[in-house]
Amino acid sequence: MAGKFEPKVKVDLNPPKDDPISVEELAKCNGVEGEKCYVAIKGKVYDVTGNKAYQPGGSYHVFAGKDASRALGLTSTKAEDVSSDWKSLGDKEKSTLNDWVTFFSKRYNVVGIVEGADNLE
């Protein structure tokens, strides 16, 4: 489908980076106290700092500073579902997760890769 997941306003993205980002560094990038706000999916780290939904008090803040692959595949905002483990998801959930990857990749800069990630595709 042409234009699927295209942002309403064109987003100029930087070339994706593959700099290693430790799990500890990722955790600090949770938007609290003006910090950057990152969300990882399948080990790729996206900078979502400009989106209030990922900031403290936002509906997706549960994902901030974490790899949210499993929760996104499950379309869940429950803290217990936020995990990097997506390979055990069913085919439907994996397809949903891939849609989220497409969505994020058209809107947010990739600023690195989670160091030691075992959930890359």
Instruction: For the chain, 121 residues long, give each residue's pLDDT as a single digit of tens.
Output: 346 677 777 889 999 999 999 999 999 999 999 899 999 999 999 999 999 999 999 999 999 999 999 999 999 999 999 999 999 999 999 999 999 999 999 999 999 999 999 898 7
What is the pLDDT at residue 7?
77
**Whole-number mean pLDDT of the chain?**
93
C-alpha distances (whole Å) from 19 to each of 2, 5, 29, 46, 113 are: 31, 26, 15, 12, 6
Length of the chain: 121
* pTM summary value: 0.93
